[in-house]
Amino acid sequence: MPSRRNLQKSLVSTLLCAGNLASASLVYVSSYSQTVTTLNYTHGQNTGIQKLNPVAVSQGCSDNPSWLTLDAPDSILGVVFGNNRHGLAVAHYGGSAFTTWDVSNPNSLKLLQTKTFKLTGPPSRPDRQDAPHPHEAVLDPTGKFLLVPDLGMDLIHLYSFDPNTLALKDITPLSVKPGSGPRHITFVVKGSKTFAYLVTELGNTIIGYDVTYPNGQIKLTEIFNIPSHGAGPAEPSSYAASEVVVSPDTNYLIVSSRAENSTSIPDFDDPSRIIPSDPLINFKINPTTGQLQLLQVVPAGGQFPRQFSINKEGNLLAVGLQNDGRVVFVDRCPETGLLGGFVAYADIEGQITAAIFDQK
């Protein structure tokens, strides 16, 4: 449970950074109601916790939209790669597959390759690892390699690709501890050093890697494996680590965790009611070693913070609370990295799967 000291530090961060200039942001929110909702929030007005209403709702999604990524230069939602940003990489959790697409013409997508995965042995967690479950597709910082964490196989699938034709080349996948359930991975570049941080959903851990490129190939060497709340005892198996995000200045790393209900907060719509909240876990990154130092554990604003994002100024988080059908905006101090209080929220129909800022 978050300590009183950590909660006090959160409040202090809000006070120390109260002089930030007001800035407006559009935020896109996907949900299992088969919609993408657009919110508009102006940060820095100091008007208390604002309730936001949608400015637009798109009904164009199919069943179970699960992820949003903004291709900022072209204002396209997706995951892009290649010399001309003309490739789209997609992980299919339920289909045990990974596909690539040519999106040169956004009105006519062309399927390029399909990688279908199969289990190679008995799973460590039969209840959750009954099949391969690729969870996302991520580009490394060089833009030359694709990584696909697979919750069902305890692997990170690795690929290089031709930047012009987008043809994939298999690289030996990276194994993680059995039963970990790799979910999401992110990178940090610190001078000549590159680090990667993998969040595991079933093991509730953060695995840190030193990333090198011997002979032009990618190599990830594990440097630590710690619980999602930092070094110490393992977390209860019922917890489910979810998202991992690095701050714009690359100095801090934040993880969300689900199914904890480790703290309580006033209900946004009825402050006389108290509701449970899962946490956001905030770390400082050691630029030399890549190790993580726990800064604070704060309420995420409700239950099941499946995904969250940080704006480019680094002073605001948008947290998608799947089970509450709500997006909560959390103040953040870029100078100290500390998370502050809630500044706005919006109730959204359906279970929320992603909330991202529209910023180029």
Confidence (pTM):
0.91
Q: For residue 132, what are the CA distances in angstroms to 172, 184, 242? A: 16, 15, 18
Q: For residue 75, what are the CA distances in angstroms to 72, 78, 303, 319, 347? A: 5, 9, 30, 21, 25
Does 60 or 38 have the greater pLDDT score? 38
pLDDT at 64: 66
Which residue type occupies 29? V
Dihedral over Cα of 246, 91, 183, 258: its sign: positive
Nearest to 251 by CA among 197, 188, 205, 207: 188
Confidence of residue 2 (pLDDT cuts 50, 70, 90): very low
Q: Rounded to the nearest 5°, which phi and psi values hold at 302?
A: 155, -155
Confidence of residue 10 (pLDDT cuts 50, 70, 90): very low
Which residue type occupies 240? A
pLDDT at 62: 65
Q: Are 331 and 285 in contact (CB under 8 A)?
A: no
Confidence of residue 39 (pLDDT cuts 50, 70, 90): very high
Domains, in order of start, for the chain: 4-357 (2.130.10.10)
pLDDT at 157: 98
Q: Average pLDDT, stretch 299-313?
A: 97
Q: Does 278 score more than 80 pLDDT? A: yes
pLDDT at 34: 86
pLDDT at 6: 41
pLDDT at 344: 97
Percentage of the chain modeled with pLDDT above 70: 88
